[in-house]
Structure 1
């Protein structure tokens, strides 16, 4: 049977004059809940989807055909069959191994499936490495949203074993959901209303919003057109304002010079700065790259922990006792200069404290702390390589901009047997 699986490749909003430049401000009155690992995330997301009445929008970098992927598939199929509009946007690299049968079952049930930048293998190797759709966003009925770093795969559950990932996401209920809903619609190629009308529409009572929260939330994202540096600039601004503490837990840490300097400067002026890095990495190169920066940071008082229980996949940070961020963006060249990413900024003291307690327990119980005064072997080699790596890192965003950016296009594919 022939079905249509849409293939989308877009680095910018669709050509809609009312949604061309999406720039979101702070929204007050939100309830924000921290979801740690798949044990908290999947039940919350799946419950919201099972209760959906009108619409499910989902973006993810990775969806595997494992127990999590099959449960998600069943929920989406059931929702579509009862009349819920379901739009699923997948990355062509991260979801490139999904079988035609898996996609066919979704499409036959009425799920709108979209693949970002699909590409066939060349000599058995995938070539679509760069400019990935790396966001992880779910919005249900425009009334509850989820965003973070957790993919739909079983390796985010503890029973996966030693390779299970440590990660974070948030559930949001309140006015900020309208921004996430509008953004997800625009990025998926759906038609969206002008901002004024869409905001007004969201004021209707929601079954999820039985009480208002106190959190202020702002959606930020990076694309390769008009919002290349928004996430990086948000980090830099928050760090420049830090007065008490900074905690950053990030799986792939190799930031640009300006961000690295702001971390060091915060420590120099007496801010307690803690970084939580990968000690048991799923990508060895990530650990080696991060360690190139240790001496630069340690000498100015930054405390560096390496999480050793299992791979760290988190992308979270907090500054002082109010500001936090959770999302999909790592602090490495891929996320800061190439990938399509989305984070939320949160101003909420209770949430900040909850995240701080979680990260503090992680650092205390499952990390090793790097000594402040290390005596590296082969110091001349390390100095030379570190100098080269440091300056490559400093200029990487400019170099990466030379790579060709994707052009917006929607290409219907008639057969699920297409190799994606």
Structure 2
């Protein structure tokens, strides 16, 4: 038995509300269970309850045992002075306010159907990947679709928080924020944080000034990545090395230590040299990129915008001094899909939120165009009968697994609540 189950029972009044009495045999009539806060302090705010002949308005606190009041030290917390009813599964101790008046207690265990308790226990199966995996495919499609929309926008709310933090750090320069976010995206999982620090170490005003010469952008990015530190005979390397130290002096840029970029376990097309060259070429070929990205509404328009390749040198190199067969290294559609999912959509959402514009439907339609992501989590959901057709659905399922299933928040999940109702 967990408190979240009792929160569910109380919130949705899943108990026999007739003939309720306190532990002192005073009659209880529930007018309003209150608002479920999920914050510090009492669990339900502004409930309305008649106890005996007196009508009360105040807060409700819920525990497994009434003695948990003292275990959680509520007796010394002024935030619990306005509790009008203590709802518990088992009443094992009287509880008193600071003025020594006893708090009325409602013991629920004799008012809840045995079936609903069994349903809850069958749902919370610790041996499963997710608790509801055996019932998942039977969930009503309408309920699942609505819940996926809610999950998707919860995920965007979470992703927007660091965007607004970056906005403060860059004096509300959306172009600079985009530059940092795209850098992280170009670094993928292994080099993402390193690329992000590289982007943050170069004031975006300098990127604007130097974007007309792609070699200058490459020099700055590769230099800050620590890839221009040693002597090499390669003429292109010497050119970038000279430009890098000239630009550091010209713009008075402080050279900061950033962890070495990783080549190990990457396919050659994902080597940091290749991704940084593509990133430099993107900013060389596209001016005012934020306004262009903010107006994207389809996957195809995104593919057109990000049709960039490396500089000529990298067509037959993956590393300095090591020639390879000639290959034009352009951004693949699957890579651009990751940019749409991880940068374009969150940025559009954050910007629309900042100006009070509603674009929810547009964001869903854009992700409907994108192929579903492939990873172990999505594969598992597919094996349980959940259809996965596009990136909108995969993003919502990732939010479901990470924020609800992994944290056992079944009774805050529309699927879990529906299963308890339908069993």
Q: What TM-score does the superposition give when structure 2 sets the normalisation length?
A: 0.21
Larger strand share, 1 or 2: 1
For the pair shown, the structure with the greater C-alpha radius of gyration is 2
Larger helix share, 1 or 2: 2
Q: With a CA cutoff of 8 Å and minimum separation of 6, indicate the structure with the bigger relative contact order.
A: 1
